[in-house]
Structure 1
Amino acid sequence: MTYCIGIRLKEGLVFCSDSRTNAGPDRVSTYGKLHRFSLPGERQLMLMTAGNLATSQAVVAQIERDLREDASFNVAKAQYVSDIADYIGKLGLNEQKKYASGGPGAGFNAEATYILGGQIKGQPTELYLVYPEGNHITVSEQYPFLQIGETKYGKPILDRIIRPDTDHETAMRCALVSMDSTMRSNATVGPPIELLYYAADTLADPAEYCRFEENDEYLVSLRRAWDDNIRRAFNDLPSLQAVFDRDL
């Protein structure tokens, strides 16, 4: 399992991913889930992956091969980021077909899910979730974020904090808290944690990128501050005693 978050703000795009893979209790390792495709001044694209590692690795390898060999369609030729989302969906389906019922590895779950975001010159920033079936969705105006992998533990903080006009510093901290909450509740999600911010309309390599190991000083201080403040907020909740007294 894994956990990845993509956020679309007026300021730009935020991406956060873990790096843990789990193929059983004896096969836990790390593998980066955040991939970048950069043509400075022309386009900046970020891709995060969750699900079957073999499928996602093959899809990323094919994207790189098509770009290197100048295929008839590649990420450098697309007019819109949505076109690239369609392309990734097709690549994923092609990989999954290798394990379709009746073929080699029948019954093997080869599904993978992706978050694709970025900007092409002359277009706004875009953010998409690409499903294993090949189709995709984008963010809503009210909740401008997407999640893949183990999503349930980290969603409440995103629901409460993230809005289109949220500043990117706040969004990045929120993404880290969301990630930490997920790691706390699910051992299959874990560091290193990658965090990236792309500023809209720069079309340059992201200037703000961090990679956090498990005992990173900032990550530890963030976790402690969050825990302390949650306890403080809980202790400040209205007492139930007034309800009991009212109903006497």
Structure 2
Amino acid sequence: MTYCLGMLLKDGLVMMADTRTNAGVDNISSYKKLHIIEQSEECTIIACTAGNLSVTQSAFALLKEGLEEDEDSDGRRFVRDMPNMHRAASLVGEALHLASDEIKDAAGENSQYSFSGSMLLGGRFKGRPLRLFHIYKEGNFISCQPDRPFMQIGETKYGKPMLDRALEYETPLDDAVKTGLVSFDSTMRSNLSVGRPLDLAIFPTNESKAVRFLRIEETDEYFDLLSSKWALALVEARASIPMPPFMENDR
């Protein structure tokens, strides 16, 4: 299982992904799910992936080679050559759809496996605003908007309540990162198939500031502190709420 989160805010863009691919009593493995598609002076574009690894890997391979033009052209289309993030999302969606179809055809109709994947695609072209998209397995996509400044893929349900209550478009970037990490901690507490290391990418809205890439390892002291503080805060918050009045006779 996977959990990936993207947050598009007034102050910037934050993308996070866990790295766990298998979880069991004696079978835990990791694989990077936050990938740099393009990074140059003209654009920085990254993707977080969920779903079948063979599909997402094949999609990245197609993007690296360039997608074919129509029958009357010998050229190829690359993400770096797109005029904006919307067109880049369209190309990535096409690659994801092609990869899924190719692998399904190779596996045959009787295969019991699910050959699908999804992505969060984020970044910007020079001089243009930051954008964030959720690309579905069929290749279509939607964009993140200020009235709902986050998108999730994978194991989303445990980390969503925190984001619904605490995250707004105006949330400062450092506070958003903290909120996102609490969302991951809540998910990891309820589902062992999501786990550290976590990969982060932080894009400030100000283009003069560099994009930051970080990894939170299994032994990260800040994350351990955040996890314990959040657990304590929940206990204290619950204790501070008055007891249900209809239960008074049972005490």
Which residue does the alignment assign to 1:224? 228
Q: CA 1:16 to 1:80, structure 2 compared with 1: closer, same or farther past 3 Å?
A: same
Which residue does the alignment assign to 1:62? 62
**How far is the alpha carbon of 1:128 from its aligned partner?**
0.2
- The alignment partner of 1:122 has SS state of coil
Out of 202, 212, 215, the residue aligned to residue 216 of structure 2 is: 212
**How far is the alpha carbon of 1:201 from its aligned partner?**
4.2
Give the counterpart letter for 1:190 in structure 2.
G
Aligned residues: 241
Q: CA 1:40 to 1:201, structure 2 compared with 1: closer, same or farther past 3 Å?
A: farther
Q: Is 1:48 equivalent to 2:48 in the alignment?
A: yes
Q: CA 1:225 to 1:100, structure 2 compared with 1: closer, same or farther past 3 Å?
A: same
Q: CA 1:146 to 1:213, structure 2 compared with 1: closer, same or farther past 3 Å?
A: same
Unaligned runs of 5+ in 1: none
Q: Is 1:85 equivalent to 2:84 in the alignment?
A: no
Q: Is 1:197 equivalent to 2:220 in the alignment?
A: no
Q: CA 1:36 to 1:99, structure 2 compared with 1: closer, same or farther past 3 Å?
A: closer
Q: Provide the C-alpha distance between the structure 2 equivalents of 1:31 and 1:9, rounded to a whole number of angstroms.
A: 28
Q: CA 1:39 to 1:103, structure 2 compared with 1: closer, same or farther past 3 Å?
A: closer
Which residue does the alignment assign to 1:168? 173
Q: How does 1:1-248 map to 2 (within 5 A)?
A: 1-22=1-22, 27-66=27-66, 72-100=76-104, 104=108, 106-202=111-207, 205-206=210-211, 208-240=212-244, 242-244=245-247
Unaligned runs of 5+ in 2: 68-74
- Whether the 8 Å contact between 2:38 and 2:79 is mirrored in structure 1 is no
TM-score when scaled to structure 1? Answer: 0.89
Q: CA 1:61 to 1:98, structure 2 compared with 1: closer, same or farther past 3 Å?
A: closer
Q: Provide the C-alpha distance between the structure 2 equivalents of 1:83 and 1:107, rounded to a whole number of angstroms.
A: 34
- Whether the 8 Å contact between 2:38 and 2:80 is mirrored in structure 1 is no
Q: CA 1:45 to 1:97, structure 2 compared with 1: closer, same or farther past 3 Å?
A: same
What root-mean-square deviation, in Å, do the aligned CA atoms of Structure 1 and Structure 2 show? 2.3
User: How far does the alpha carbon of each residue in 1:134-169 deviate from its partner, in whole angstroms, 9 at most, with x for none?
Assistant: 100112322210000000000011111111111000
Give the counterpart letter for 1:74 in structure 2.
F
User: How far does the alpha carbon of each residue in 1:201-221 deviate from its partner, in whole angstroms, 9 at most, with x for none?
Assistant: 417651x33211222111111
Among the aligned pairs, what percent are the same residue? 36
- Whether the 8 Å contact between 2:4 and 2:18 is mirrored in structure 1 is yes
Give the counterpart letter for 1:125 in structure 2.
L
**How far is the alpha carbon of 1:41 from its aligned partner?**
3.1
Which residue does the alignment assign to 2:70? none
Q: Which runs of 4+ in 1 moved over 4 A?
A: 23-27
TM-score when scaled to structure 2? Answer: 0.88
Q: CA 1:22 to 1:83, structure 2 compared with 1: closer, same or farther past 3 Å?
A: same
Q: Provide the C-alpha distance between the structure 2 equivalents of 1:79 and 1:203, rounded to a whole number of angstroms.
A: 21
User: How far does the alpha carbon of each residue in 1:167-203 deviate from its partner, in whole angstroms, 9 at most, with x for none?
Assistant: 0000001111101111111111111111221112417
